[in-house]
């Protein structure tokens, strides 16, 4: 039996990617890269050969279970874990870990977000196999850290210690986690050479992460221990509804990773992006000779450095724009300077307040 399991976290809304990412149809269910596959589909695709299909679990909001089934029709319904409410990544990971541990106490679990991009998949698979082997052989919590290419203030950072590594020397003990820093601090981190971006990718054995919950988030562990016998049965849905009402809203980073003393990081460089913003899409997308990233039926004149993503059935003609976002989906058209994209969340809040819920 292959004891490698995959947990795909697919419950977020991704509001910085509005108007594509909407409450009714979040980013992970879109073909963001224009390759004919949604972010969720691409995420599951890249683990082919690492984890067998019967060991793939997707955790999502119950409102999105139907969407998950549409995008992953080969995934049995009992491998889609529906959350009644969003409670951040710690309860999500606890739910999946307890469910998998009940089925296979020897399980090694990979946890991945559903909406990140990986451009060099062979290198990604090589590193994931290395991390799985290390997690299977050691009582450690592993995260993948991305070699930073610039002082980005949109990511968390991981500092590691060169002198403390697991056998083989490629996984290093984590010294500190730092949430999104200001630009000056981000510059210092990148220049120091011993900081990595926090990718949100984790690898660990089921017993090790459950032990960490007991130690650092005992209130959440207690909730899931009480109902562990109901997981995988007809009583699971009712139990999870009740369990989530008792769980704190807390991330795995803050709740466990920043506190544990057995956290190791594997430095990685496989063309990663969290595609969290329109600018990050521009950075990884294919550009025309004028630096425009285009996805749609578009004619451009005197236009440079833009991100243009529009419905294929609509012809869009753009003249004279420089470094803009032009994004249309359903009933919303966004035109915004790329340098002002951090205001998208503000726009969404205003739209909700002034126009109602049909646009967010």
Q: Write the Ramachandran bin of 310: left for phi over 0, alpha for psi from -120 to 50, otherwise beta.
A: beta
What percent of the chain is modeled with pLDDT above 90? 72
In a domain, 25, yes or no: yes
pLDDT of residue 164: 65
Phi then psi for 308, rounded to 5 degrees?
-130, 115
Please give the model's pTM, rounded to 2 decimal places. 0.93
Q: Are residues 205 and 347 in the same domain?
A: no
Q: Are residues 314 and 228 in the same domain?
A: no
pLDDT of residue 38: 94
Mean pLDDT of all residues in 3-30 = 91
Of 245, 273, 301, which marks where a domain is finished?
273
Q: Are residues 351 and 243 in the same domain?
A: no
Question: Model confidence over 24-57: pLDDT tens digits?
Answer: 889 999 998 888 999 999 999 999 999 999 999 9
Lowest mean pLDDT among 95-104, 319-328, 343-352: 343-352
Please check the confidence at residue 1 and state whether its pLDDT lies above 60.
Answer: no
Question: Model confidence over 348-358: pLDDT tens digits?
Answer: 999 999 998 88
CA atoms within 13 A on the CB side of 160: 29
Q: Between 105 and 176, whose confidence is greater?
A: 105
Q: Between 28 and 194, whose confidence is greater?
A: 28
Q: Are residues 242 and 312 in the same domain?
A: no
pLDDT of residue 48: 93
Q: Are residues 21 and 119 in the same domain?
A: yes
In a domain, 360, yes or no: no
Mean pLDDT of all residues in 197-221 = 95
In a domain, 251, yes or no: yes
Predicted confidence band at 71 (pLDDT cuts at 50, 70, 90)? very high
Of 273, 295, 325, which marks where a domain is finished?
273
Mean pLDDT of all residues in 112-123 = 93
Spatial separation of the C-alpha atoms in residues 263 and 159, rounded to whole Å: 11
Spatial separation of the C-alpha atoms in residues 336 and 316, rounded to whole Å: 16
Question: Can you give the CATH number for the domain in which 235 is found?
Answer: 3.90.550.10
pLDDT of residue 112: 97
Q: Write the Ramachandran bin of 169: left for phi over 0, alpha for psi from -120 to 50, otherwise beta.
A: left
Give residues with Cβ within 8 angstroms of 206, minimum separation 6. Answer: 5, 97, 100, 101, 104, 105, 106, 107, 108, 109
Mean pLDDT of all residues in 167-184 = 80
Q: Are residues 120 and 163 in the same domain?
A: yes
Range of the domain at 350: 278-355
Of 238, 273, 308, which marks where a domain is finished?
273
Predicted confidence band at 166 (pLDDT cuts at 50, 70, 90)? low
Please check the confidence at residue 249 and state whether its pLDDT lies above 90.
Answer: yes
Question: Model confidence over 254-280: pLDDT tens digits?
Answer: 999 999 999 999 999 999 888 888 988
Please check the confidence at residue 140 and state whether its pLDDT lies above 90.
Answer: yes
């Amino acid at each position: 039996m292959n004891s490698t399991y995959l947990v795909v976290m697919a419950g977020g809304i991704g509001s910085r990617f509005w108007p594509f990412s909407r409450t009714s149809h979040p980013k992970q269910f879109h073909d963001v890269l224009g390759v004919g596959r949604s972010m969720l589909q691409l995420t599951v695709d890249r683990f082919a050969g690492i984890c067998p299909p019967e060991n793939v679990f997707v955790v999502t909001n119950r409102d999105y279970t139907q969407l998950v089934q549409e995008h992953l029709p080969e995934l049995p319904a009992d491998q889609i874990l529906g959350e009644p409410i969003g409670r951040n990544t710690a309860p999500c990971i606890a739910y999946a870990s307890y469910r998998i541990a009940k089925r296979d106490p020897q399980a090694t679990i990979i946890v991945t977000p559903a909406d990140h991009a990986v451009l060099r998949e062979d290198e990604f698979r090589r590193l994931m196999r290395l991390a799985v082997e290390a997690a299977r052989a050691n009582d450690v919590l592993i995260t993948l850290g991305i070699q930073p290419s610039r002082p980005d203030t949109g990511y968390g950072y991981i500092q590691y210690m060169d002198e403390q590594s697991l056998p083989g020397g490629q996984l290093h003990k984590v010294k500190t986690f730092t949430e999104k820093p200001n630009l000056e601090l981000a510059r210092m981190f990148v220049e120091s050479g011993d900081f990595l971006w926090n990718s949100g990718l984790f690898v660990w054995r089921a017993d090790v992460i459950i032990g960490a919950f007991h130690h650092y988030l005992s209130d959440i562990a207690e909730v899931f221990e009480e109902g562990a016998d109901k997981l995988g049965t007809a009583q699971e849905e009712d139990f999870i509804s009740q369990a989530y009402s008792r769980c704190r809203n807390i991330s795995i980073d803050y709740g466990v990773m920043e506190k544990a003393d057995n956290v190791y990081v594997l430095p990685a460089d496989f063309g990663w992006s969290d595609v969290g913003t329109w600018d990050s899409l521009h950075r990884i997308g294919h550009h025309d000779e004028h630096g425009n990233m285009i996805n749609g039926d578009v004619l451009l004149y005197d236009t440079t450095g833009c991100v243009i993503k529009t419905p294929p059935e609509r012809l869009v003609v753009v003249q004279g724009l420089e470094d803009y976002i032009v994004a249309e989906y359903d009933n919303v058209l966004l035109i915004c300077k790329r340098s002002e994209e951090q205001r998208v969340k503000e726009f969404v809040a205003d739209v909700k307040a002034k126009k109602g819920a049909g646009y967010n």
